[in-house]
A and B are shown apart, each in its own frame.
Chain A
Amino acid sequence: GEKVEQHESTLSVREGDSAVINCTYTDTASSYFPWYKQEAGKGLHFVIDIRSNVDRKQSQRLIVLLDKKAKRFSLHITATQPEDSAIYFCAARNMGYKLTFGTGTSLLVDP
């Protein structure tokens, strides 16, 4: 089955800098890649996704890049703010519906 590796377990940046979180996947059939944010004691909050028919997607300060050849995708948070501090999870989905998640990246934005 699909396996998703999330490369950074922790990430610390200064407010205003960019943060980059990288994930790789194994199943070439995967075609949908969402990102979720989790704050302490809360559920997962959807932030952005990308489908395999594009290689870049932007929503305000969030940019997702997808490299299908390398089976790699990444989340870029630009102009970080303290409220961006949270755990971020990447995920992948193939033709089915279940998501396979990475292990999470704890992002700390220092004011």
Chain B
Amino acid sequence: NAGVIQTPRHKVTGKGQEATLWCEPISGHSAVFWYRQTIVQGLEFLTYFRNQAPIDDSGMPKERFSAQMPNQSHSTLKIQSTQPQDSAVYLCASSLSGAEQYFGPGTRLTVL
């Protein structure tokens, strides 16, 4: 069991560019979560999928952020026209039942 896999581990983009972050959940887990971690805001929930269907995206900024889960083996978080305030560690987690969530190592996004 490789755990939750996130790629890339580090990404640097210029202001206005697009960033796509990838998450591979633990095999067999039906729930996938995205969180964002910054020094100022701490850990914030972004969005949640269950059986590939979007369930709750209440934490997603309304503009520029989108998430998808095209199949059970991966989810993507896309940020269009990145801004410096998007710089953060983006964490993906998966869960078998929605209770205990297992986190990946995160993707550190730096927007210059």
Q: Which residues of A contact B (CB under 8 A)?
A: 32, 34, 36, 42-46, 49, 89, 96-104
Contact = CB atoms under 8 A, between A and B. Distances in A.
Interface stretch (B14-22, B75-83, B97-105): B97-105
Interface residues of B, number: 26
**Main DSSP-derived SS at the B contact region:** strand
Contact of B91 (A34, A43, A46): A43
A48 to B, nearest CB: 10
Given A36-B103, A97-B50, 15 more contacts: A34-B100, A34-B101, A42-B106, A43-B6, A43-B103, A43-B105, A44-B93, A46-B101, A89-B43, A96-B56, A97-B55, A99-B33, A99-B35, A100-B45, A102-B42
A101 B42 contact: yes
Contacts of A102: 42
Given A98-B56, A100-B45, A32 B99 contact: yes
A36 B6 CA distance: 18
A7 to B, nearest CB: 14
A56 B102 CA distance: 23
Interface of B: 4, 6, 31, 33, 35, 42-43, 45, 48, 50, 55-56, 58-59, 91, 93, 95, 98-106
A15 B99 CA distance: 32
A97 B33 contact: yes
B42 A104 contact: yes
